[in-house]
């Protein structure tokens, strides 16, 4: 396209590689009837099955054709045009054609070198798509002006089709489909618009063709459904046995539990819902057995407490009257210390018995500790001091009785008694986040971990050590009662350093589970 001497080139172009390539394209693409190349240097070359190079207008005349101006506007993009809509480029052409065109650019400086035209014979295109048109159907190619470019049926059929639309033309939508009645038959009308050319491809297909295979498809579906139903029956019976066998095993175990056998367990190895149900059932039986054991133990403890109370209350009026007599005798003989001891002992008896009630108030528990420490202070003289500081919000709350006194007693036995210097016990309590926290601190001799372990370990006291018996048994009794009333929802912290003292922290909920166990 850049050779300046066009005449010399025309004598030799038949052996030039690009034109050999164009001939190859013509041979491979039967729907292309001719290829024309115009060069800005005046080159005018065409190769085709029906025409020669002298069959097209010169480049000078082609430059005046609107097609050339459109190609320049597209600037390298492909344009499509119906040949009958533009001034003639091919001499004496009576064949309907479609032309694809674009300018050719220099890859070095992007200057326009010429224009390439591909001529498509409408007849060849129609023969290509007509093979895919179903019986009784039609295909039309319509340009943007509504002109029929190509069609498998007569133009009159298309004009008859347009009568189904208002204004006698297709809607402006880019694509659509609908069912219409055309030539006495139900037809599926479908059309879409090309984004390149703006032309519409309109297809009419008889609905009978679309539904032709529905009966055979329905028969296949019926056979498949029947086969699936048979397989479903087989697999459902198998799956049912997998589900019902464990359930039957579970039902048999439940019946044995109803008869009082709480050793029952089921063995489901699966990880599905049935397996989870079995494991949950096993855990429930264990919990029920544990709950029964705990309630049974609690009832035993109650009976023991009642027995102890009966033993301790042998004629309680006689005991109180006797103490009262001793008190007034001491007062009469001006013995205030004995009077104070007798009164404190009497109050301890009353608060400990608590009229047979297991629950007491924090105020009463505080009063019991105060009278106990009064007796101990008389015993140790100036060797023992104490301080009690309980939050006022705690005083009206309920708690199991005799919870704090054993730990105060433990502080004296294992801490204060071994001191050569004065000892001090500090008792405090507060309410935080619905939990009661008591702290008992002493500056005694402290304990090692082995002694703490002996005190806290459940079971009989180690050997017959009187110290362990007096301190450890009472504390272990407190732990068992805390476990019964609060289950595992309590804390007991023992912190002791030999030679520096001991700190005990008891944390319990604001309310205990006494009502839960006693209805």
Q: What CATH number did the domain enclosing 205 receive? A: 3.30.450.20
206/120 same-domain check: no
166/231 same-domain check: no
* CA 243 – CA 241 distance, rounded (Å): 5
State the alpha helices, DSSP H only, in 43-200: 59-62, 66-74, 122-130, 155-162
Domain CATH for 391: 3.30.565.10
50, 327, 342, 375, 381 from 338: Cα distances, Å: 144, 7, 6, 10, 14
Domain CATH for 295: 1.10.287
366/477 same-domain check: yes
Residue 460: what pLDDT? 45
239/163 same-domain check: no
Domain membership of residue 314 (yes or no) is no
Residue 6: what pLDDT? 45
Domain membership of residue 270 (yes or no) is yes
Q: DSSP letter for 387, please.
A: E
- The count of domains in the chain is 4
43/136 same-domain check: no
Expressed as residue numbers, the domain containing 98 is: 6-124
Domain membership of residue 317 (yes or no) is no
Residue 517: what pLDDT? 46
pLDDT digit of tens for each residue in the chain (519 aa)? 555 444 444 444 444 566 677 777 777 777 787 888 888 887 777 777 665 445 788 888 888 888 888 888 888 888 888 777 677 887 766 667 788 889 988 888 888 888 988 888 777 777 777 777 887 788 888 877 777 777 777 777 777 777 777 767 777 787 888 888 888 888 888 888 887 777 888 888 888 777 776 767 778 888 899 999 999 888 888 878 777 777 778 888 888 888 888 788 888 777 777 778 888 888 888 888 788 877 777 777 766 666 665 555 555 666 777 777 888 887 878 888 888 888 888 888 888 877 778 889 999 999 999 999 998 988 888 889 999 999 999 999 999 988 999 999 999 988 888 888 899 999 999 998 889 999 999 999 988 888 888 877 754 443 444 433 345 567 888 888 888 888 888 999 999 989 889 999 999 998 866 554 444
* CA 156 – CA 182 distance, rounded (Å): 13
Per-residue tokens: 29: 């693409």
402/441 same-domain check: yes
51/85 same-domain check: yes
505/361 same-domain check: yes
225/288 same-domain check: yes
Q: Are 388 and 369 in contact (CB under 8 A)?
A: yes
Domain membership of residue 373 (yes or no) is yes
Beta-sheet strands, E only, within 16-157: 32-39, 44-48, 79-82, 97-105, 112-121, 138-142, 148-151
Q: Are 37 and 46 in contact (CB under 8 A)?
A: yes
78/221 same-domain check: no
DSSP H or E run through 460: none
Relative orientation angle of helices 336-353 and 316-332, to the nearest 10 degrees: 160
Q: Using only C-alpha atoms, what is the Rg of the chain?
A: 55
Q: DSSP letter for 412, please.
A: I
361/451 same-domain check: yes
Residue 17: what pLDDT? 62
pTM, entire model: 0.42
236/196 same-domain check: no
How many contiguous H segments (helices) and E segments (strands) does the chain have?
A: 16, 17
């Amino acid at each position: 396209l850049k050779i300046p001497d066009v005449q010399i080139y025309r004598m030799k172009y038949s052996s030039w590689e690009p034109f050999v390539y164009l001939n190859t394209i013509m041979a491979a693409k039967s729907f292309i009837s001719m290829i024309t190349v115009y060069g800005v240097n005046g080159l005018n070359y065409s190769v085709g099955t029906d025409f020669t190079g002298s069959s097209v207008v010169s480049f000078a005349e082609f430059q005046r054709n609107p097609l050339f101006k459109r190609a320049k506007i597209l600037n390298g993009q492909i344009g499509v045009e119906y040949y009958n809509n533009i001034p003639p480029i091919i001499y004496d052409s009576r064949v309907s054609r479609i032309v694809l065109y674009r300018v050719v650019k220099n890859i070095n400086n992007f200057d326009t070198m010429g224009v390439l035209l591909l001529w498509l014979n409408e007849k060849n295109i129609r023969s290509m798509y007509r093979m895919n048109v179903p019986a009784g159907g039609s295909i039309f190619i319509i340009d943007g002006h509504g002109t029929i470019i190509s069609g498998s049926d007569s133009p009159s059929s298309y004009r008859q089709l347009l009568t189904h639309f208002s204004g006698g033309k297709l809607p402006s939508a880019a694509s659509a489909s609908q069912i219409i009645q055309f030539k006495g038959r139900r037809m599926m009308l479908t059309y879409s618009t090309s984004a390149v050319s703006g032309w519409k491809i309109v297809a009419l297909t008889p609905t009978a063709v679309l539904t032709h295979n529905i009966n055979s498809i329905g028969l296949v579906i019926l056979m498949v459904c029947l086969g699936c139903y048979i397989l479903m029956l087989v697999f459902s019976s198998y799956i049912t046995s997998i589900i019902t066998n464990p359930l039957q095993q579970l039902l048999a175990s439940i019946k044995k539990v109803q008869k009082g056998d709480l050793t029952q367990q089921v063995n489901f190895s699966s990880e599905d819902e049935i397996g989870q149900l079995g494991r949950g059932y096993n855990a429930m039986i264990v919990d029920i057995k544990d709950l029964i054991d705990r309630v049974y133990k609690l009832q035993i403890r109650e009976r023991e407490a009642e027995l102890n109370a009966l033993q301790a209350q042998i004629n309680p009026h006689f005991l109180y009257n006797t103490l009262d007599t001793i008190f007034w005798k001491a007062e009469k003989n001006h013995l205030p210390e004995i009077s104070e001891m007798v009164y404190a002992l009497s109050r301890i008896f009353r608060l400990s018995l608590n009229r047979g009630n297991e629950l007491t108030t924090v105020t009463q528990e505080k009063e019991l500790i105060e009278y106990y420490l009064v007796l101990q202070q008389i015993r140790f003289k100036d060797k023992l001091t104490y301080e009690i500081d309980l939050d006022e919000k705690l005083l009206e709350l309920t708690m199991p009785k005799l919870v704090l006194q054993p730990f105060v007693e433990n502080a004296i036995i294992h801490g204060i008694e071994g001191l050569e210097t004065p000892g001090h016990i500090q008792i405090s309590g507060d309410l935080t986040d619905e939990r009661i926290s008591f702290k008992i601190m002493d500056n005694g001799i402290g304990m090692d971990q082995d002694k703490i372990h002996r005190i806290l370990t459940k079971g009989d006291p180690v050997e017959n050590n009187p110290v362990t018996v007096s301190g450890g048994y009472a504390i272990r009794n407190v732990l068992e009662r805390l476990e019964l009333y609060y289950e595992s929802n309590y804390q007991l912290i023992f912190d002791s350093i030999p030679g520096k003292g001991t700190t005990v922290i008891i944390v319990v909920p604001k309310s205990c589970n006494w009502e839960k166990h006693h209805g």
